[in-house]
Amino acid sequence: GPMPRTEHAVKVNRQEYYAIITHMDVQIGRILDALEKSGMAKDTYVFFSADHGLGVGHHGLFGKQNLYEHSTRVPFIVTGPDVPKGKQVAAPVYLQDVMASSLEIAGVEKPAHVQFNSLMPLARGKTKKSSYDAIYGAYLSVQRSVTVKDKKLLLYPNVPVARLYDVAADPMEMKDLAKEDASKPLMRKLFARLLKLQKETGDKLDLKTTFPDLAKK
């Protein structure tokens, strides 16, 4: 679409998005209807999610190649025989947790090299605590993010630009707190946590050289 975005371009993009979702909803209904007719629905776990969202005009973006909440915070629904109905879980999870969850449901031991965790204790209401104290985000070598509780540090190494958001108070991520002097200690703390996550995931992108101010102790 045109840059900067026009109102017409955003409207058309959202119309297409709504149309795709409507079509997908019908197809999901067909799968669930077939499951119901099979007689196995009461013994089946269903995980519904998505690999990413879309910008649909937010932050001037249409695509998925970003680490804003509108593209990374996707729907996640779990149903099953021992999953309470109508409950919401606030604890953050990774999409890859579905793999570890499936192993648990099947009674298969999780291999040692799998870094993700079953979310079934959360889904079953046995705990409200996440398996992760921080959530890592990456896109190629151009973006990195770390979210701890409601605070999110977003980095663009090639520019370089650092942004800070409070995703609870500002879910649309419209107020960049990085410009405020009072934010520096928090940004450095989040940056240090991101460096640890890089080690854990084998991410070799050099952020210390690019963001020397954030690397300060």
Query: Is there a contact between 60 and 101 (Cβ–Cβ < 8 Å)?
Result: no
**Per-residue tens of pLDDT for the chain, all 217 residues:** 778 899 999 999 999 999 999 999 999 999 999 999 999 999 999 999 999 999 999 999 999 999 999 999 999 999 999 999 999 999 999 999 999 999 999 999 999 999 999 999 999 999 999 999 999 999 999 999 999 999 999 999 999 999 999 999 999 999 999 999 999 999 999 999 999 999 999 999 999 999 999 999 7
Which strand ranges, in their side-by-side order, compose the sheet holding 151-156? 135-139, 143-148, 151-156, 161-166
Q: Hey, what domains does the chain have and what are their CATH numbers?
A: 7-123 (no CATH), 135-215 (3.30.1120.10)
Q: Which amino acid is residue 164, in one-letter code? A: L
Q: CA-to-CA distance for 62 and 78, rounded, in angstroms?
A: 28
Runs of H (alpha helix) within 107-163: 120-123
Q: How far apart are CA 138 and CA 46, in angstroms?
A: 28
